[in-house]
Amino acid sequence: MTIRSILIANRGEIAVRIIRAAKALGIRTVQVHSAADADMLAVKLADEAVDIGPPSAAKSYLNIEKIIEAAKSAGVDAIHPGYGFLSENAGFARAVTDAGMIFIGPSADAISLLGDKVAARSVAAKAGVPTVPGSDGRIEDMAVARDIIAQTGFPAMIKAAAGGGGRGIRIVDTMEDFERQFPLAAAEAKAAFGDGGLYIEKVITKARHVEVQILGDGENAVHCFERECSLQRRRQKVWEEAPSCRLPDDVRTALCESAVALAKSVGYKGAGTVEYLYDEDAGEFYFIEVNTRIQVEHPVTEMVTGIDLVQEMIRVAGGEKLSVTQDDIALSGHAIECRINAEDPAKGFMPGPGTVAKLVAPEGAGIRFDTFLYEGYTVPPFYDSLLGKLIVHAENRAACLKKLEAALSGLVIEGLTTTIPLHLALCRDEAVAEGAFHTRFLEPWLETHFNPQTPAKVHEEASS
């Protein structure tokens, strides 16, 4: 079926991104919005807009019934969920297809299978993908949990089977700590995800977070190489780049091929990401999970491969085969993405929504700013603090860092407090320049550079 019209079941910069990709394909767009988002950029850019409820996400962007009703009334062929909200909700995917429309993403069955992290570990193991030492399945019994912990050793990680986005994770260092945290983690998982299932993994100290972008059409699958996502705060990514600067070529090949093997084993359709931990000292990588959606950081992959991932998702959902083979996909240069949030890094990342008094985005070859901001727009306080993503591309990583520093210096967002000073400081950091970081690098670094007690001079230098 050829897709002629799409409803975007999301908001913010990803909604704008999807609209622009759809328009490039000549597809009509319908944007849903809450009452708080009536004047957001995606509403202005779409061919049609539909109000789906009050500001609360639970009553608007997470309300499956209202979104399906809006799609039916608008007469669209398909729905794109973006990322977050309902993007990895198997029930939503199923509701879309049951209503006679196309869900732009993998099937509900694939989302269910890969969204359950225990089941996904099993799928990965069967596909020959190395997994982090830990439990083979869900754990309900404390005695069984103790036996597994005895095998993995400490530190260990208790993870929610249905978790995501860094949520539902607790790290324990002693048996006493484990026995106290285990029932609390189960209760937290049940409250947050409606599923109290847990599993255990060994903590790989000083691991790098590396993920592989996959594309599939249900029969064939390819990879678009990897991204480095190790700079994280509270397990939330802050800065991403492609390719990883510390990955040997043989490891890169094995990592990417394992992701394709996993995708083919489930007949994957659409865009997705297979996430890994890489133990740089041992030269080993381990499967973590699969994200069955487009990722926030997808632009860095687009910059180094030249592939429009969102357009590819739409084409495949409409029944087309992948437009590229593995031999067509090659790495070109280096790209880095900074997540620009409405937060103050010098004040514990306190949220700082407000009205955009002035907006100046840097321009030039290899510079891209994905955002939903415009001058005069008031950022609502009800949703994620992400304002946009500044992405730069250059012939190598050193040149990329220089271009990024210049682009950040030229990015002006007045009226809101943003994380631009944080990214400028990272650009100028020696360890970052050398690529000498891991998933536990950023938080201690922040204590030194952006602790509220840190002298103001450090922050002023980062902003200069």
Token readout for 263 is 């995708």
| Catalytic residue status for 293 | yes
Long-range contacts of 358-365 (CB under 8 A, 24+ apart): 358/412, 358/413, 358/414, 358/415, 359/412, 359/413, 359/414, 360/410, 360/411, 360/412, 361/411, 362/390, 362/406, 362/407, 362/410, 362/411, 364/407
Residue 364 has pLDDT above 80, yes or no: yes
More confident residue, 450 or 464: 450
Question: Helix or strand or coil: residue 303?
Answer: helix
Domains and CATH numbers, the chain: 5-89 (3.40.50.20), 133-202 (3.30.1490.20), 208-463 (3.30.470.20)
Angle at which helix 298-305 crosses helix 309-317, to 10 degrees, equals 100
Short-list 18, 310, 294, 105, CA closest to 97: 105
Q: Residue 398's Cα: distance from chain center in Å?
A: 25
The Cα–Cα gap between 130 and 431 comes to 29
Count CB neighbours of 59 within 10 A: 14
The reported pLDDT for the residue numbered 2 is: 87
DSSP code string of 12-42: HHHHHHHHHHHHHTT-EEEEEE-GGGTTSHH
More confident residue, 459 or 363: 363
More confident residue, 302 or 154: 302
Give the confidence band of 189 by pLDDT, cuts at 50, 70, 90. confident
The Cα–Cα gap between 434 and 431 comes to 5
Region 180-196 average pLDDT: 85
Q: List residues bridging with 102 in a β-sheet.
A: 78
Short-list 271, 333, 328, CA closest to 300: 333
The Cα–Cα gap between 408 and 412 comes to 8
Beta 28-33 vs 5-8: how paired, if at all? parallel
Region 171-196 average pLDDT: 87
Q: Which residues, other chains included, contact 44 with Cβ-Cβ below 8 Å and sequence gap of 6+?
A: none
Least confident of 17-21, 135-139, 145-149: 135-139
Residue 464 has pLDDT above 50, yes or no: no
Could you tell me the pTM of the whole model?
0.90
The pLDDT > 90 percentage for the chain reads 80
* Amino acid at position 190, single letter: K
Q: Please write the tens of the pLDDT for every residue from 405-431.
A: 999 999 999 999 999 999 999 999 999
* Amino acid at position 165, single letter: G
Residue 387 has pLDDT above 60, yes or no: yes
Residue 221 has pLDDT above 70, yes or no: yes
- In this structure, what DSSP letter does residue 320 have? P
Token readout for 118 is 């225990």
Residue 166 has pLDDT above 80, yes or no: no
Q: Please write the tens of the pLDDT for every residue from 272-300.
A: 999 999 999 899 999 999 999 999 999 99
Token readout for 243 is 């390719």
Token readout for 232 is 């994280």
Q: Do the beta carbons of residue 279 and residue 286 sit within 8 Å?
A: yes
Short-list 28, 27, 17, CA closest to 315: 27
Average pLDDT, the chain: 93
The reported pLDDT for the residue numbered 461 is: 44
Q: Write down the catalytic residue from 121, 233, 252, 293.
A: 293
Short-list 298, 305, 262, 303, CA closest to 128: 262
Region 391-415 average pLDDT: 98
Q: Do the beta carbons of residue 403 and residue 392 sit within 8 Å?
A: yes
